[in-house]
Amino acid sequence: MIDIERELDQAERGLPRGGAPADVLQRLARRAGEEGLVDVAYSQVDSPFGPLTVAGSERGLLLVAYPERPLDEMLTRLAEEVSPRVLEAPERLDPVRRQLDDYFEGRLRSFSEPIDWSLTHDWFFRRVLEATAKIDYGEVRTYGEVAASAGSPRAVRATGNGLGSNPMPVVVPCHRVVRAGGGLGGYTGGVERKEFLLSLERG
């Protein structure tokens, strides 16, 4: 058993029923990070929609999830598809948390956080999301335009499916993709959130 695992085991046995105090968890998370034992960090950030769950690796942002997504389900997906070494480590995610705060306050027009596409396995869906990530703040594109940018102009339905599987809404701005006739189209987080984000960006 390595030192940090022994320390965690001893700490857990000595905890009160309510669990570890926040400062203990923060110290353990920091130590695990220093020991190179955290491949995926996760945390939460306040938003107009409630607390968003964010997760990232050393390569970049992996996940932004709306409040109704069960945390256990997301952590299981991260453990199965990226790495089982997942830990709540807010400090590791401070840059994206600050950027999200600034975005919702209207102070940020472009996210600079690197993206880790590990949760996007389908090659076409990834191209759709990469094309979507290039849509400028306050602009919109149709599903057909995004399909063309992804290299398959006729794959409009598949483009919609790809956007529906977006693991990083807001940061990868699928809310900026609308129907050709002017309708909003669908949105993973609900059409009301799509309207809110587009309205926010229109100022």
Between helix 3-13 and helix 22-34 the angle, nearest 10°, is: 170
CA–CA separation, 180 and 183 (whole Å): 7
CB 179 within 8 A of CB 143: yes
CA atoms within 13 A on the CB side of 168: 28
Query: In 3-state terms, what secondary structure has residue 120?
Result: coil
Cα distances (angstroms) measured from residue 102 to each of 95, 98, 109, 187: 11, 6, 9, 22
Tokens for 61, please give them: 């942002």
Where in the sequence numbering do the catalytic residues fall? 174
